[in-house]
Structure 1
Amino acid sequence: MSHSPDPDEDDLSTIPAPHPVFHAEQALLGALLLDPRLLGDVPGISADAFSTAAHASLFAAISALPPPDPAEHAKSAAWLNQVLAAAREEARGLSASYLHTLIQVCPWPRHAPAYARMVEAEHARRQLRAAADRLVQTVHDASLPEPVQAVLAEADALTVTVGDIATRFPPRAGILPRTPVPPPDAAADPAEAVEEEQLLLATATARPADIESVRWLLAEDFTQPLHAGLWQCLTTLVRRHEPVDPVTVLWEAQQRGLLHTGSEPGDVLRLLAEPAGSVEHWGRRALTRSLLATVDHAGRRIAAYADDPMTTPFQLVAGARRSLADLGAIRTRWQHATGHSLPQTVRAARAGPAARRAPTVSPPARPVAAGRTP
């Protein structure tokens, strides 16, 4: 006869298995409870590195209480009782039996530094994931009065987080994450983007002399391949000092194969024949949209790296820095377009921990082989 579960019966099958770092935390805490002197072998780790409130409270209590006499600790549970009492002020569910469980599950107390490194690595992963999430959420927050400034502030915060992680896990040359990169997200309002890009192209065709003032705008900033190709046609004609009008742009588009993708000549002529506003205005709009899309893609890419358990902390740093470098290029162009400068504190954060330290005499750097990431 089949068993009918009681509504009040716990269904243990629905409880997810703990992550490997949970066992590393247990092993580390067990080692410290067995031999509190090992705390000196795990410098740099703090209570917020632990994944549960109970573990964080226990580590905080162990760190705050004076270590017991080793001989006395071997005979008495007095210090363990003090740790439990202090930890229960923040985690009421802790019990003496759990402390004994921690001691029992610790394989080798002398491996405490290795356990601490595992805990620290997973903490770095959570930090990076949280910073990337905040960045992506800011990109999509339609309530912000200054969206670009808010997004760049979050990008700076993410840069600082990556720099802090790099001090603990310096990236190794040539080691990048193997996590598949998520595809770029679709534009929030594709119809608006298409309309504004068409106005930009038409206005630039009518006033080609103004194209020189938006040299910071690139074909990659357009959302439509045809629009990107037409912008290249316009900039090429201007650079050659050739006549610019809808017909000459159409001819250049034919030479570049843009009309082989289903675009009709009449449609292109009509697109280029309705100018409005200024080239600089529409150019800034296109660049801003491109910057936000780049930030969104960088944030989601870094989040994907952090979500991949096979990505090491060294790869996380290398991959995040590569993503932020892609963002840095378009950010520089946006600053040229708008006149905004990069704060000195952000420059220092981008430069990394070595640039913020006092200069020291060091031997000449070895040359980096071609194709390798320094």
Structure 2
Amino acid sequence: MPHTPDPIEDGLDSLPPPPPVFHVEQALLGAILLEPHRAAGLTRITIEAFSTAAHAALFAAIRSLPAPEPAEHAKTTTWLNQVLTAAGEQTRGLTTTYLHHLIQCCPEPRHAPAYARIIEAEHARRLLRDAAQRLLHTALDTTLPQRVATTLAEATTLTTVVDDIANRFPPHPGSLPRTPATPAVVHDEEASGDEEVLLASATARPASVERMRWLTPADFTHPLHAMLWRCLSTMARRGASIDPVTVRWEAQHHGLLTHGSEPAGLLGFLGEPAGCDPEYWGERILRRSLLTTAHHTGRHIEALTHDPATTTYQLVVGSRRALAGLNTVRTRWHLATTPPPANARVSNRISAPPRAGPPPTTAPPAARSAR
């Protein structure tokens, strides 16, 4: 006979399997239901650490009830009924059969602390993933009125999550985390145009280059523009004459002009009129670099959390490495956007009298007579 599709059965078959930590939660709850006194030693795990509402409700009910006497608990199901009633007030679908199933899922009740530690580690992974996703989505949200400030606030929150995980899970010797694939660089016409305007205005106003040490070649999206900024910075530091001709000559020495290329055509934008402030365009480029770095940082950490082979120790190490790059750009952004402090007023302090020296051994020379 042909198979008649059953919508309920087919729907259940299409559900994804539960994560591995789900079975660990079953083992932990089974251990406590079988031997309730073991719940007193689980002080670090929280209700939020459980992946399902049913498991969280059961754990909350267990904590809210006093543990029964072991001898009495072995004879009656009174305490189990109380747990089921208390948990049923928080969520639906729990049955006596499921409680007995949880007890059967526990291979060894005395391993309850190990089960709890695994659940804590997976909860830390979820918290880290959520914070990383908030960072990358914020960095891409163009509707935010204070996009940079909000992004940096999310980066601070993510750093706090990483530090909290590091405090709860002491470091141990282990291999470094695998580095996720680097996202491909997408050519941005607007970013490229901003970079050309900056290079042209900086060539016309070279004195501004020294004041813009907060801008680095890594902030540019186009490799040619990054190397040209390196050329301009090098020339400014050594006090060289800067104009479109000298910059092209410097670019040639840096290998930017290939054989047969026409300097005027390749770097023609350097000689275009640029009456704008280079620092304004530099801040635009640095702002874009900051948001792009924040997005890549969030996506990098998110990828680490999705790798089940990554341990908690590796999550902390990998996240801190990713955040270090973002903090570097953040520091440079602070330098670029913070106005210099006002010149401190010079106080009219009376200078201290000179210290007395040893008495002279020879007579002072006679004063010359005025002519």
TM-score, structure 2 as length reference: 0.87
Deviations 1:262-308 (A, max 9, x none): 96412344210221311111111111111111111111000000000
How has the CA–CA distance of structure 1 residues 38 and 212 changed in structure 2, closer, same or farther, with 3 Å as cutoff?
Answer: same
Match for residue 33 of structure 1? 33
CA distance in 2, matches of 1:298, 1:340: 28
Match for residue 368 of structure 1? none
How has the CA–CA distance of structure 1 residues 261 and 204 changed in structure 2, closer, same or farther, with 3 Å as cutoff?
Answer: farther
Deviations 1:138-177 (A, max 9, x none): 0011111111100000000001111111111133356421
Greater mean deviation of Cα atoms: 165-174 or 221-230: 165-174
Matches within 5 A, 1:93-242: 93-172=93-172, 175-183=175-183, 186=186, 190-242=188-240
2:27·2:105 contact (CA, 8 Å) conserved in 1? Answer: yes
CA distance in 2, matches of 1:340, 1:122: 44
Deviations 1:175-209 (A, max 9, x none): 4211423425636xx11111111010000000101
Shift of 1:210: 1.0
Misfit runs of 4+, over 6 Å: none
Counterpart of 1:81, as a letter, is N
How has the CA–CA distance of structure 1 residues 132 and 98 changed in structure 2, closer, same or farther, with 3 Å as cutoff?
Answer: same
How has the CA–CA distance of structure 1 residues 242 and 340 changed in structure 2, closer, same or farther, with 3 Å as cutoff?
Answer: closer
CA distance in 2, matches of 1:63, 1:281: 59
CA distance in 1, matches of 2:277, 2:204: 10
Deviations 1:71-115 (A, max 9, x none): 111111111111111111111111111001000110000000111
Q: Secondary structure at the match of 1:258?
A: coil
TM-score, structure 1 as length reference: 0.87
1:179·1:311 contact (CA, 8 Å) conserved in 2? Answer: no
CA distance in 1, matches of 2:7, 2:63: 43
Match for residue 63 of structure 1? 63
2:139·2:147 contact (CA, 8 Å) conserved in 1? Answer: yes
2:210·2:237 contact (CA, 8 Å) conserved in 1? Answer: no
Q: Secondary structure at the match of 1:85?
A: helix
Larger gyration radius, structure 1 or structure 2: 2
2:134·2:154 contact (CA, 8 Å) conserved in 1? Answer: yes
Counterpart of 2:302, as a letter, is A
Matches within 5 A, 1:66-85: 66-85=66-85
Match for residue 311 of structure 1? 310
2:219·2:285 contact (CA, 8 Å) conserved in 1? Answer: yes
Shift of 1:340: 8.3
1:237·1:243 contact (CA, 8 Å) conserved in 2? Answer: yes
Deviations 1:115-135 (A, max 9, x none): 111111110110000000000
Match for residue 329 of structure 2? 330
2:34·2:109 contact (CA, 8 Å) conserved in 1? Answer: yes
Greater mean deviation of Cα atoms: 4-13 or 217-226: 4-13
Shift of 1:9: 4.2
Match for residue 244 of structure 1? 242
Counterpart of 1:226, as a letter, is L
CA distance in 2, matches of 1:101, 1:261: 75
CA distance in 2, matches of 1:185, 1:252: 26
How has the CA–CA distance of structure 1 residues 123 and 211 changed in structure 2, closer, same or farther, with 3 Å as cutoff?
Answer: same
CA distance in 2, matches of 1:304, 1:330: 22
Deviations 1:192-245 (A, max 9, x none): 111111010000000101111111110111000000011111111111211111
CA distance in 2, matches of 1:44, 1:99: 23
1:175·1:315 contact (CA, 8 Å) conserved in 2? Answer: yes
Structure 1: tracts of 5 or more residues without a match: 342-374
CA distance in 2, matches of 1:9, 1:106: 28
1:201·1:272 contact (CA, 8 Å) conserved in 2? Answer: yes
CA distance in 2, matches of 1:337, 1:50: 44
Number of aligned positions between the proteins? 339
| % same residue | 58
How has the CA–CA distance of structure 1 residues 329 and 128 changed in structure 2, closer, same or farther, with 3 Å as cutoff?
Answer: same
How has the CA–CA distance of structure 1 residues 12 and 283 changed in structure 2, closer, same or farther, with 3 Å as cutoff?
Answer: same
CA distance in 1, matches of 2:66, 2:178: 45
How has the CA–CA distance of structure 1 residues 258 and 229 changed in structure 2, closer, same or farther, with 3 Å as cutoff?
Answer: same
Residue 290, structure 1, aligned to residue 289, structure 2: yes
Shift of 1:65: 1.1
Q: Secondary structure at the match of 2:66?
A: coil
Shift of 1:19: 1.6
